[in-house]
Chains A and B, each alone.
Chain A
């Protein structure tokens, strides 16, 4: 099967001016060479790119995150290790990408970002929100408007600045660590408090 690389590279390069969902250094275990290599990873939507260097024009590789499982890997030789397990295809097992973060905070942040990185999630959420919006419009006697269309290009849309994404830096240490296996997530009430607690920490970094 041929993946039309130009379509992927066009996406990768075209988005470089915009902040990705997450990016940073991760250690990646090679397929043949079993040592960990330092790579720059860029997450956009359901695609995880890895580059040899942050400024490279072409990624080394791509991991497709639809229907993947992301889990911390306890007992690995490398600390802060995790695995991205891709789906099986008829008899052959999925591939396990063995990765490691540089510290516990990074591990938690990446696990959280990767766990939510599928199109399917958005596809599941959208109809509910759209229905809710239309109901509200109907109740208010308001004409519903549509979200900006267009196949993923932002430049030509006249969206007001309130629709722009603010990419927060993941400093929510308590909350992200709760993603690590077995721990329940904090409620939203808790997160506001924990954010206030962590701000002094962020400033001192």
Chain B
């Protein structure tokens, strides 16, 4: 599947939601924990060698599962292949919880669902659509299903 590396590079330079040096181990058997600068930008996770400006790699954070791995670590796996895990080692339990929370909220799908949730709740409570003020109330991706079920 073709993609433009420059687009990803540009994204990796954007302000990050979270960035920290973590231990990281790939999903392949026998892979070793390495120190990486890990950076969360929108729904992508970039990881860099600690002294380099270009990321080594990028993961798309959609349809993934974030699981705690003792001690003070977590793993990311993708729904379609749950045994294949990317492992991360944090400096503390607090850091681990911070990363896990941020990663779970990072996907576009999660944000979209949250937006729809708040929109629906606000509309129920006020009778008004909070998206109207932004001029996006008609957009298909923010629509609720009809209550036909």
Contacts and interface: CB of A to CB of B under 8 A. Distances in A.
Given A11-B62, A14-B79, A64-B8, A165 B143 contact: yes
B78 A1 contact: no
A132 B7 contact: no
Interface string B65-82: 110000000000011110
Interface in A46-73: 46-47, 58-64, 66-67
A75 interface: no
B62 A151 contact: yes
A202 to B, nearest CB: 15
A1 B113 contact: no
Contacts of B1: 5, 8-9, 58-62
Interface in A81-101: 86-89, 92, 94-95
Contacts of B29: none
B95 interface: no
A2 B45 CA distance: 12
Interface in B111-140: 111-122, 125-126, 130, 132, 134-140
Interface residues of B, number: 74
Q: How large is the interface on A (under 10, 10 to 19, 20 to 34, 35 or more residues)?
A: 35 or more
A205 interface: no
Contact of A151 (B63, B80, B116): B63
Contact of B109 (A10, A45, A125, A126): A45
Contact of B63 (A2, A3, A15, A112): A15
Contacts, number: 233
A129 B113 CA distance: 12
B104 A168 contact: no
Interface string B16-58: 0000000000000000000000000011000000000011111
Contacts of B142: 165
B97 interface: no
A45 B78 contact: no
Please report whether the interface of chain B is mostly helix, strand, loop or mixed according to DSSP. Answer: mixed
A140 B79 CA distance: 39
A174 to B, nearest CB: 12
Contacts of A86: 4, 6-7, 10
Contacts of B106: 151
Nearest to B148: A161
A205 B55 CA distance: 49
B144 A163 contact: yes
A4 interface: yes
10 contacts: A4-B57, A7-B78, A59-B1, A119-B42, A126-B111, A129-B119, A149-B104, A151-B66, A152-B61, A152-B110
- Minimum-distance CB pairs A-B, first 10: A45-B108, A152-B107, A164-B145, A61-B2, A119-B42, A152-B109, A147-B117, A147-B114, A129-B118, A11-B62
Interface of B: 1-14, 42-43, 54-66, 78-81, 84, 103-122, 125-126, 130, 132, 134-149
Given A10-B78, A95-B6, A116-B139, 6 more contacts: A6-B80, A8-B3, A61-B1, A88-B10, A126-B118, A136-B122
